[in-house]
Amino acid sequence: MAFEGLTTRLQNVFGKLRGKGKLSEDDVNEAMREVRLALLEADVNFKVVKDFIAKVKEKAVGLEVTKSFTPGMVVVDIVHKELIELMGGTQSKLAKANRPPTVVLMAGLQGAGKTTLVGKLAKLLQSQNHKPLLVAGDIYRPAAIKQLQVLGGQIDVPVFSLGDQVSPVEIARQGVARAKEEGRDYVLIDTAGRLQIDEALMEEIKQIHAAVNPDEVLLVVDAMTGQEAVNVAKSFHDQLALTGVVLTKLDGDTRGGAALSVKAVTGCPIKFASTGEKIDQLEAFHPDRMASRILG
């Protein structure tokens, strides 16, 4: 890995301190500079970093340094625990409606990985004995409907489509009705993204939301976009009641700081991590693993 791990950095800072007793404010300030750099290099938003540092500092000043625990280890442990806490603590599961079907709405920019995610979630649900229905609500990207049909075909899950001449709001509404008729217990609705946030996109997805009243609204975010992920999350969160986040493209060489930022900005748990283009490359999101990845 191209980055120097935080543990090594802190050991350098604290090397001289061994056996010194309590950590002074100066010692901690020096350490926090390293923590700050490590987080910024991992692409965590600077505001998020600032709040985070303040919290960690509070816990670290005055800490007792013993022979068995070096100050570096103690601080890394505090940072690690605090990161896990910030990312929601424990693993968060997909919603399940009291009365089926559970309606899941995808939101996000074009290219974030929404259509791919619909296929992946369907496969996961199917392996848990659920019966999903996929709804082709992205009528603007030329290949999106076909892409969803191919994905559905691969895993033998039906795809509801009304072509590209009917409004996505109507498609979503009829899709949910179809799921009820056919006893499908999850409806996964693909939606259109744009290259950037725009009003028409937001208005449309808000209307879909109002029409189908989803149990889960998943914001799909490309982890490789780093800082931009924060702006995207903010815009969607302001307009739409998000219930969860899915980070995609974590197979790339990103340190994953976007995870921390997006969670901090939206307050929504990150539910899944997508780690490749293949249909089975989807994992439940584990805050502890991501904390280790961010710290390097």
- Positions that interact with ligand GDP (CB under 6 A): 108, 110-116, 193, 248-249, 251, 274-277
114 marked as part of a ligand binding site: yes
The 8-class DSSP code of residue 64 comes to B
- In the bound state with ligand GDP, the residue whose beta carbon lies nearer, of 102 and 116, is 116
For the chain, strand residue ranges (E) read: 102-107, 132-137, 159-160, 186-191, 216-222, 244-248, 270-274, 282-284
- In the bound state with ligand GDP, the residue whose beta carbon lies nearer, of 9 and 123, is 123
251 marked as part of a ligand binding site: yes
CB of 157 to ligand GDP, least distance (A): 16
The 8-class DSSP code of residue 22 comes to B
Residue 63 · residue 23 · CB < 8 Å: yes
CB of 152 to ligand GDP, least distance (A): 13
CA distances for 257 relative to 6, 38, 40, 135, 290, angstroms: 14, 10, 8, 32, 9
CB of 216 to ligand GDP, least distance (A): 17
Q: Phi and psi for 238 in degrees, rounded to 5?
A: -65, -30
115 marked as part of a ligand binding site: yes
192 marked as part of a ligand binding site: yes
- In the bound state with ligand GDP, the residue whose beta carbon lies nearer, of 43 and 185, is 43
263 marked as part of a ligand binding site: no
Q: In what order do the strands lie in the sheet with 102-107?
A: 159-160, 132-137, 186-191, 102-107, 216-222, 244-248, 270-274, 282-284
Left (φ > 0), alpha (ψ -120 to 50) or beta: where does 213 sit? Answer: left
- In the bound state with ligand GDP, the residue whose beta carbon lies nearer, of 221 and 230, is 221
CB of 148 to ligand GDP, least distance (A): 9
248 marked as part of a ligand binding site: yes
CB of 141 to ligand GDP, least distance (A): 6
- In the bound state with ligand GDP, the residue whose beta carbon lies nearer, of 83 and 192, is 192
72 marked as part of a ligand binding site: no
260 marked as part of a ligand binding site: no
Alpha-carbon dihedral 71, 73, 75, 79, rounded to 10 degrees? 180
Could you give the angle at the alpha carbon of 147 between the alpha carbons of 95 and 213, nearest 5°?
30
The 8-class DSSP code of residue 283 comes to E
- In the bound state with ligand GDP, the residue whose beta carbon lies nearer, of 114 and 184, is 114
Strands 102-107, 159-160: parallel, antiparallel or unpaired by DSSP? unpaired
CB of 76 to ligand GDP, least distance (A): 29
Annotated binding-site ranges for GTP: 108-115, 190-194, 248-251
